[in-house]
Amino acid sequence: MKLLKMKNLNNFKFVLYSFFILFNNLYLFAQNKLYKQTVKIECSDQDLDKAIIEPVLNIEVFQSNKLIQTINYTYNDTFMLIKHFDFTDINFDGYNDIVILAGLTANRGQLHYEVYLWYPKKNQFIHTSEISDSMPNLYIDAEKKLLYSFYMMNDGRNEYHIFKFEDDHFIEKDCLQEFVYIFDYPVYLYENENFGKNCNFKTVQDLSDVWKRVIALSNFSYDYSNLEKRLK
């Protein structure tokens, strides 16, 4: 009799667990359906992906064939060569954002960007200044869910930065400085130890796998004829 009760109890637990898994899967399915990004963006500018003629980028946002938002970005950078934007997920929340190639800085031609993040609860794109202020030469690492930024300094140093999107902000996780010494032999210095063993000078072979990946992916060619490929 005792064994029978134990068996019935185990069967009840199994059935209860099965219902829980089923309910959880249905909930996740419904959540995905309810919050799936359904917007469509259009840009009818004649100079899109070409040399800029009209210094305003006009983007229209549609949902169910209804215009819900208009973004009119004005270029104020005299070093801009091409009008281009990407519709891609930059904060890794499952929703595509608008990443505008905003221009080139006067300091060694660093690429910089203006970004509009999609907020599903507000049902609109909202501008963030965090990227334009501190993240030039951007690379989106979708596999690692990290952003890499590379900056060429006037004194010959190069800096590599790692950013992660947390609590609705792009947080810098680490920085690596590259120094080029005699015979053009580069050595590296960790700014902190999040992704490195210590702060001593290192050769590229001694760097952590994280930084080797960052350097490889951030190895920009500065081919301005293919700027639209720089975010890929």
Q: How many helices (H) and strands (E) does the chain have?
A: 3, 12
Per-residue pLDDT at 117: 97
Per-residue pLDDT at 103: 82
Q: Which of 81, 146, 138 is CA-nearest to residue 114?
A: 138
Per-residue pLDDT at 78: 54
Q: Where are the domains of the chain?
A: 1-36, 39-229
SS3 content of the chain, % helix, strand, coil (to 5): 25, 40, 35
Q: What CA–CA distance (Å, rounded) separates 85 from 155? A: 31
Query: Helix, strand, or coil here: 30?
Result: helix
* Segments in the chain below pLDDT 50: 2-9, 12-34, 182, 195-197, 220-232
Per-residue pLDDT at 12: 44
